[in-house]
Amino acid sequence: MRHRRKGRKLNRNASHRLALFRNLSRALITHESIQTTLPKAKELRMFVEKLLTLAKNAAVIVDTIAKTTDEAEVKKLKARALHLRRLAMARLGPMHGTGVYDKDDNLVQGDDTVLKKLFNQLGPRFKERPGGYTRVLKLHYRRLGDAGATAVIELLKEGEKKVQVKEKKPQVAPAPVPVSA
């Protein structure tokens, strides 16, 4: 039994699973929306949200550095921001420096990398958000070949809110009508 065991194995060993999540997360950061199978999308959400939290925390630290005048404190904050960047590099793996591509798969001019996009664009975008940076949408059709359930995983836009189902309020019974005899 798998009581209290989190995560899906996805029919892969640990190193293959890590490589899969690294590749999918680089694609998600680059394109901000990818299509994959539903179980992979649900597992990727946990992997990517940890990376986005690192970038968000670094963006908060950069804002704090701009407001701080104490030189010793600035040095500590810069070291902390660098530490967060290096943690993200380690989690993204040796290909963290891959280029960023546009929607037509053309390399974006300049020296933008996945890591730079993560910390320069996505981190500040989610600075005010307490979590939940991704959305998984189930697609109605199955994948050709193995009929696997497909889904789209995407990053939320600037200032976008996740739509949540509102709880139904319990209906209050009407007040009893006084009976006159």
**CATH code of residue 90:** 3.90.1030.10
**pLDDT > 80? residue 28:** yes
User: Does 75 map to a domain?
Assistant: yes
| Greater model confidence, 60 or 165 | 60
Q: What is the pLDDT of residue 166?
A: 74
Query: What is the per-residue pLDDT for 2?
Result: 86
Nearest to 122 by CA among 32, 23, 46: 32
Is residue 115 situated within a structural domain? yes
Domain assignment present for residue 36? The answer is yes
pLDDT at 38 over 90: yes
For 3, 54, 106, 129, the CA distances from 96, given in Å and listed in that order, are 34, 15, 18, 24
- In a domain, residue 162? The reply is no
Name beta bridge partners: 168.
none
- pLDDT tens digits for 138-180? 999 898 999 999 999 999 998 887 666 777 777 787 778 888 7
Query: pTM of the full predicted structure?
Result: 0.83
Inside any domain, residue 148: yes
26 located within any domain: yes
What total of structural domains would you count in the chain?
Answer: 1
Q: Would you say residue 105 lies in a domain?
A: yes
69/42 Cα distance (integer angstroms): 43
Range of the domain at 150: 14-155
Helices 71-92 and 14-31: crossing angle in degrees, nearest 10, is 120
In a domain, 181, yes or no: no
